Structure 1
Amino acid sequence: MSKISILIVEDELIPAYNLSNFLKRNDYRVVGIANSGEKALEMVEKDRPNIVLMDILLRGNLNGIETARRLQEKSNIAIVYQTAFSDLETKQQAKLAGNYFYIIKPFQFSNLLKILKEAVELKI
C-alpha cells in the first residue's frame, strides 16, 4: 500500500512544520500545509489527500468546521481536528460537519498516531 497522504491545515507555522516533520518520520506523506480554509479547499482539490489534519481556528474567512463542511459536500475525506477547543458545542459542530476525529492540543504525538491509524482503518 502506498503512503497515506495528509494535508495539514494549521495557521501557526512552527507547530505545522513540527507536525509535518513528525508525520514524515512516521511514514506519512504530507502533501502540504494550508493556513486558511480557502487554501485548504484549493489544496484538497488539487492534491487529493487521504486525511485532512484540521485546526478549527484558521486565517481567512472560513474556520476549520466550515472548511470541513465544504469538503464533505465534495468528498468523503477523513477529517482529524487538532485543536485547543474542547467545549461541547464546538465538538458537536465538528461532528455535524461529518467524517471526523478529534484530538485536543497540546497532544502527545503517540496519541495522534493512534487517531490517524483509526481514521485510515475506517476510511480507506
Structure 2
Amino acid sequence: MTIKIIIVEDESIVAWDLEQRLKLLGHEVVGIAASGADALNLVKNNKVDLILMDIILKGNLNGIETAILIKKDYNIPIIYNSANSDFKTLKEIKKTEPYEYLVKPFDDTRLKKAINNALNY
C-alpha cells in the first residue's frame, strides 16, 4: 500500500530532500506546502494518509496552529519535523496530539519508524 503524504516545510531545499527520502521509502508525496494556508488547501483537496509538519512556516499560521485546524476537521496523523526542541515548543505541540516529533536532522531509519508508528504498522 502506498502511503500518501503532504510535506509542510518552509525551506524548499529541506522539502525537496524530504520528498526524495520519502519516495525512496516507497511513499507518495501528494504535495508540498510552505505555509499553513497552503497546507490546509492540500488537505482539503487530496486524500492524505499522513502529514510531515514543520513548526516554522511562511504566512500567518505556524505548524502548531495549522495542525490544530487540520485536527479539528480531518483525522490525519501528523508527525512534526523541526529544529525547535525547546520546552515551550514541545508543550505547545502536545495540544495537537502528534504521533511523533522528529528533531532535524534525522535519518531515514528514524523517519521510517515514525511513519510506521503513526500509521500503526
Unaligned runs of 5+ in 2: none
**Residue range with higher mean Cα deviation, 4-13 or 89-98:** 89-98
Contact 2:22 2:29 in 1 (8 A): yes
> 1:94-114: CA deviations, max 9, x gaps?
111234310101111211111
CA distance in 2, matches of 1:33, 1:75: 18
Contact 2:6 2:29 in 1 (8 A): yes
Contact 1:69 1:98 in 2 (8 A): no
- Residue of structure 2 in register with 1:57 after alignment: 56
Unaligned runs of 5+ in 1: none
> 1:55-81: CA deviations, max 9, x gaps?
000000000000000001101210000
Q: Are 1:98 and 2:89 an aligned pair? A: no
Contact 1:5 1:51 in 2 (8 A): yes
CA distance in 1, matches of 2:27, 2:113: 13
CA distance in 2, matches of 1:117, 1:92: 24
Contact 1:9 1:35 in 2 (8 A): yes
**Residue range with higher mean Cα deviation, 105-114 or 38-47:** 105-114
Same amino acid, percent of matched pairs: 44
- TM-score, normalization: structure 2? 0.95
Tell me the C-alpha RMSD between the 2 structures: 1.1
What is the one-letter code of the residue matched to 1:28?
Answer: H
What is the one-letter code of the residue matched to 1:38?
Answer: A
- TM-score, normalization: structure 1? 0.93
